[in-house]
Amino acid sequence: MKTLRYLFPAFLAVLLNFNLYAQSEKIQVIPKPAKIKEIKGTFRVDASTSILMAGKNEDIVRNTLFLCETLRQAGGPVLSPVEMNSKNKKKQAIILSLNDQGKIPAEGYILKVTPKHIFIQGGSGAGLFYGIQTLLQLMPPEIMSSNKLKPGISWDIPCAEIQDSPRFPYRGMHLDVSRHFFGKEFIKRYLDLMATYKMNTFHWHLTDDNGWRIEIKKYPRLTQISAWRADHENLPWRERPAQKEGEKATYGGYYSQDDIREIVQYAKDRYITIIPEIEMPAHSIEVLAAYPQFSCTGGPFTVPTGSYWPNIDILCAGNDSVFTFIDDVLTEVANLFPSKYIHIGGDEADKTRWIACPKCQKRVKDEGLKNEKELQSYFIKRVEKIVISKGKKMIGWDEILEGGLAPEATVMSWRGIEGGIIAARQGHDVIMTPTSYCYFDYCQGESGYEPTSIGGYLPLKKVYSYEPLPQELSSAEQKHILGAQANIWTEYIPIPSHVEYMAIPRMLALSEVVW
Ligand code: ACM
Ligand code: ZN
């Protein structure tokens, strides 16, 4: 039952919440709004309620339809929006408007519920959307159902005035769809859950050793070969044998470009930006399985069925055709995703092959590089030029600092906060995602009671205690910390309900940290 699946995490988070986030009995919203003033009484939404748009602005229309559709899906009153005028605004009504003259912060909103009116005013379309999310959390919990449960529910909303806006502009959730593949319906559900808690960035880890998940028209073997592995799902991740000769690769899947466009639009309707990640130069053996000419040795390779760590076979840094491949792939990626960022991975590149490869060593010599760390930096800087040529900004894991950071790169600090501190001091933007607070693939309770996980321990309480701004930074440097993100790597997380179990309630705690 969808209702319970939505509500349970909220209840749990409320129960386990610190006083810091405690609210009144009537008003319980996650993440906690900045200012709440309770007012006596309730507003009842019923079939006679008007829903009024103060203007025909695209954001107002989209948000109004979203609210009407959410109510309808939950079996609530079916409301038909109309434009506000001097007459209808006097009736019992929900009124949606924008105030984008800077009085309300861009992602902020004011929500005023009185017995006769509900006013939702956003500082932007996103702000209006968050005002609606707060309103939905004030409604009876059945609002989260899409099953048209019991009729006869009173859609009562406690009266209050709420002023709210986020602390950070970047509020992220990541999902690895390579280690296990999750179909587009689950991606939409993940986006819905994010939207409920006002998270605004979905980092979609689309490629990794165990499967390539995005259709690239120019390289069909990426979806014919790289997207599939021999199915050893019955064995523990680290004990799976490599695909044998003649063995069929049957586990996998990918998103067609039409799927991607559909999901990008779905996210846009919820004011979520999707940052696509295409891993390079490492975490790319699935590419080499289809195109061994991009490796240092020539292969052959198969798509790993589990983990053989480290994966020493990575893209060759001495082969210009590798950069042509990257350029072609990123051309299609940039056309599909409106996000200003493309994430190029950059993490955990084992240098074994580069040290032994004549082409890589020639590159080191020709470019006057000192070592393979500088070769990695050469690689990433060259990729940044490609990313910029597509009108995008590059973001990468903190290893991209090694050997010298690319000029305009944004850094995702995961091996602790040190990388983030160094990057911010150099004037680069940073997203904080340290393992100790943000790796939601770590188990959240005592290991004997939890499903097998990759290791690590990250209980809910610890997520609540996270502070993304390092004290070491000056206030000017702190401005480069755009926000924080939780990562869900899926080696040990094979199915959607397990992703939800890992994400929730910890995402609710992170939403309190970043909002
Ligand atoms: C990572 O966890 N390798 C970014
Ligand atoms: Zn090489």
Structure tokens, 1: 């039952």
Distances (CA, A) of 288 to 35, 48, 490: 54, 62, 21
Centroid of ligand 1 to alpha carbon of 438 (angstroms): 11
pLDDT digit string, tens, across residues 472-500: 999 999 999 999 999 999 999 999 999 99
How much is the average pLDDT of 500-511? 98
pLDDT the model gives residue 150: 64
Centroid of ligand 1 to alpha carbon of 479 (angstroms): 24
Least confident segment among 40-44, 126-130, 146-150, 306-310 = 146-150
Q: Reply yes or no on whether 283 is catalytic.
A: yes
Q: Please, what is the end-to-end C-alpha distance for the chain in angstroms? A: 29
Nearest-CA residue for ligand 1 atom 2 is: 414
What is the best residue among 414, 432, 458, 485 to mutate for testing ligand 1's pocket, by most ligand atoms within 8 Å of CB?
A: 414
Specify whether the CB–CB gap between 292 and 301 falls below 8 A. Answer: yes
DSSP string, 276-333: EEEEESSS-HHHHHH-GGGSSS-------SS--SS------TT-HHHHHHHHHHHHHH
The H-or-E segment that residue 117 falls in is strand 117-122
Sheet holding 50-53: strands in order across? 35-45, 155-164, 109-113, 117-122, 93-98, 50-53, 82-83
Q: What is the CA radius of gyration of the chain?
A: 24
pLDDT digit string, tens, across residues 353-392: 999 999 999 999 999 999 999 999 999 999 999 999 999 9
Centroid of ligand 1 to alpha carbon of 434 (angstroms): 10
* Eight-state DSSP code of residue 244: P
pLDDT digit string, tens, across residues 204-240: 999 999 999 999 999 999 999 999 999 999 999 999 9
What is the band of 151 on the pLDDT scale with cuts at 50, 70, 90? low
Q: In which residue are the tokens 């067609």 written?
A: 256
pLDDT the model gives residue 4: 42
Which ligand lies nearest the alpha carbon of 317?
2
Query: In this predicted model, which residue has the larger pLDDT, 14 or 340?
Result: 340
Going by their DSSP bridges, the two strands 109-113 and 155-164 should be labelled as antiparallel
pLDDT the model gives residue 146: 74
Centroid of ligand 2 to alpha carbon of 371 (angstroms): 13
Cis peptide before 281 (omega within 30 of 0): yes
Which residues share a beta bridge with 172? 201, 485
In the three-class reduction of DSSP (H, G, I as helix; E, B as strand; rest coil), residue 209 is classed as coil
What is the best residue among 178, 277, 397, 454 to mutate for testing ligand 1's pocket, by most ligand atoms within 8 Å of CB?
A: 397
Instruction: State which amino acid sits at residue 199.
Output: M
Distances (CA, A) of 44 to 85, 117, 416, 465: 22, 10, 48, 37
Q: What gap in Å lies between CA 300 and CA 511, rounded to an integer?
A: 45
Nearest-CA residue for ligand 1 atom 3 is: 347
How much is the average pLDDT of 403-411? 95
Which ligand lies nearest the alpha carbon of 415?
1
Query: In this predicted model, which residue has the larger pLDDT, 15 or 483?
Result: 483
Q: Reply yes or no on whether 208 is catalytic.
A: yes
Q: In which residue are the tokens 């004997």 written?
A: 448
Which residues share a beta bridge with 164? 109
From the alpha carbon of 489, which atom of ligand 1 is closest?
2
Instruction: State which amino acid sits at residue 180.
Output: H
Q: Reply yes or no on whether 348 is catalytic.
A: yes
pLDDT the model gives residue 20: 59
Length of the chain: 515
From the alpha carbon of 412, which atom of ligand 1 is closest?
4
The residue annotated as part of the active site, out of 156, 247, 348, 350, is 348
From the alpha carbon of 345, which atom of ligand 1 is closest?
4
Whole-model pTM: value is 0.95
How much is the average pLDDT of 36-48? 95
Centroid of ligand 2 to alpha carbon of 131 (angstroms): 53
pLDDT digit string, tens, across residues 328-345: 999 999 999 999 999 999
Q: What gap in Å lies between CA 432 and CA 467, rounded to an integer?
A: 10
Q: Is the CB of 450 under 6 A from ligand 1?
A: no
Specify whether the CB–CB gap between 85 and 55 falls below 8 A. Answer: no
pLDDT digit string, tens, across residues 278-319: 999 999 999 999 999 999 999 999 999 998 778 899 999 999
Specify whether the CB–CB gap between 275 and 410 falls below 8 A. Answer: no
DSSP string, 418-435: HHHHHHHHTT--EEE--H
Contacts of 287 (CB under 8 A, 6+ apart): 207, 212, 222, 226, 294, 315
The alpha carbon torsion through 304, 307, 308, 313 (nearest 10 deg) reads: 50
Specify whether the CB–CB gap between 104 and 161 falls below 8 A. Answer: no
What is the band of 149 on the pLDDT scale with cuts at 50, 70, 90? low
Distances (CA, A) of 133 to 68, 70, 222: 13, 10, 39
Contacts of 349 (CB under 8 A, 6+ apart): 281, 282, 314, 376, 399
Q: Is the CB of 348 under 6 A from ligand 1?
A: yes
DSSP string, 141-188: GGGG-SS---S---EEEEEEEEEE--S-SEEEEEEE-SSS---HHHHH
- For residue 19, pLDDT beyond 50: no
pLDDT digit string, tens, across residues 64-78: 999 999 999 998 999
Cβ atoms < 10 Å from Cβ of 266 = 17
The residue annotated as part of the active site, out of 117, 203, 205, 283, is 283
What is the band of 23 on the pLDDT scale with cuts at 50, 70, 90? confident
How much is the average pLDDT of 139-151? 80
Centroid of ligand 1 to alpha carbon of 347 (angstroms): 6
pLDDT the model gives residue 5: 43
Specify whether the CB–CB gap between 273 and 171 falls below 8 A. Answer: no
How much is the average pLDDT of 17-35? 79
The residue annotated as part of the active site, out of 107, 164, 176, 208, is 208
Cβ atoms < 10 Å from Cβ of 260 = 24
- For residue 1, pLDDT beyond 90: no
Q: Is the CB of 414 under 6 A from ligand 1?
A: yes
